[in-house]
Amino acid sequence: MTRRSLSWILGVVLCTAPLAAATLSDAASRAFDEHAARARQSFIAAAQRPIADNPAARATLRDSGSVITPGTGDGIVDVPGALFHHWTGAIFIPGVTLDQVLVISRGSAAYPDIFHPVQRAVVLSQQGEMFRVQFRMKESAGGLSATLDMTSTIQYGRPDATHAYVISAADEIREVKDAGRPTERQLPAGRDSGYLWRAGSLTRFVADDGGVYMAMETLGLSRPYPPLLGWIIEPIARRIGRRSVGASMEEFRRAVLARYP
């Protein structure tokens, strides 16, 4: 899930970050780990709860398409030497089963045809319901572009017949310079442009009401805003974040419905 739900962070930072190199600090890395651990604890506690906990909330999802909210604070939180990005979203996929949704979710090889930032997806290994997958992602905004190679560990779980979850964590993120050229090279992890240093996602599916509800959380760490410009950039970044998370979920829903009309 990381590969499709975090591309918006690239777009936010591409619009705002200068091209000078940045360095991931130990303090920023620890802050991400602490925020991510709290998010995972809450996620696991809610793994078998309804995604929409009352009839009105379920009706809103079915009627409006998706609901996007900040996961922590206002969605983008200052941490030492970095920004922590955390958004949550929910969507309803009508007329399909949980098994059908999981087929699309597990089909990493097809992601370049589903999610526009994903250029390549290669399954490196599989042990039961745990996968290691390498993704090449490219995003462009504000006249700039970034290409990243991200290797993620993805764990699937199926507590019962109507509930499933996916926990994804990026093991390594490397910015690629001169992608696709003879001079292509990977920059050292954590010593690059700072578009995306750390990433993870938490997704759960609940079969109900003649379809499948999907709830997703995205977690990311990027370089901070340029000095003195944060007050201008923050509102723009949050609007981009909301739109992009919703677009990613909609891409997934379209792929499911195209396969199982």
CATH number of the domain that residue 254 is part of: 3.30.530.20
Q: Is residue 53 part of a domain?
A: yes
Other CB atoms within a 10 A radius of the CB of residue 236 amount to: 12
Q: Is residue 130 part of a domain?
A: yes
Which range marks the domain in which residue 105 is found?
A: 2-13+23-259
Identify the residue with better confidence: 48 or 8.
Answer: 48
Task: Tell me if the pTM is above 0.85.
Answer: yes
E strand map for the chain: 22-23, 66-70, 76-79, 82-94, 118-127, 130-141, 144-160, 163-177, 185-186, 191-192, 198-208, 211-222
Q: Is residue 120 part of a domain?
A: yes
pLDDT number for residue 4: 45
* Enclosing H/E stretch for 18: none
Q: Is residue 208 part of a domain?
A: yes
pLDDT number for residue 9: 54
Query: Comparing C-alpha atoms, which of 43, 64, 12 is closest to residue 244?
Result: 12
Taking the C-alpha atoms of residue 103 and residue 189, their distance in angstroms, rounded to an integer, is: 32
Q: Is residue 152 part of a domain?
A: yes
Q: Is residue 18 part of a domain?
A: no
Mean pLDDT estimate for the chain: 86
- Is a pLDDT exceeding 50 seen at residue 5? no
Domain count, the chain: 1
Taking the C-alpha atoms of residue 66 and residue 62, their distance in angstroms, rounded to an integer, is: 8
Taking the C-alpha atoms of residue 9 and residue 83, their distance in angstroms, rounded to an integer, is: 10
Q: Is residue 248 part of a domain?
A: yes
Taking the C-alpha atoms of residue 224 and residue 48, their distance in angstroms, rounded to an integer, is: 36
- pLDDT exceeding 90 applies to what percent of the chain? 60
- Is a pLDDT exceeding 70 seen at residue 158? yes
Query: Comparing C-alpha atoms, which of 122, 121, 131 is closest to residue 154?
Result: 131
Q: Is residue 216 part of a domain?
A: yes
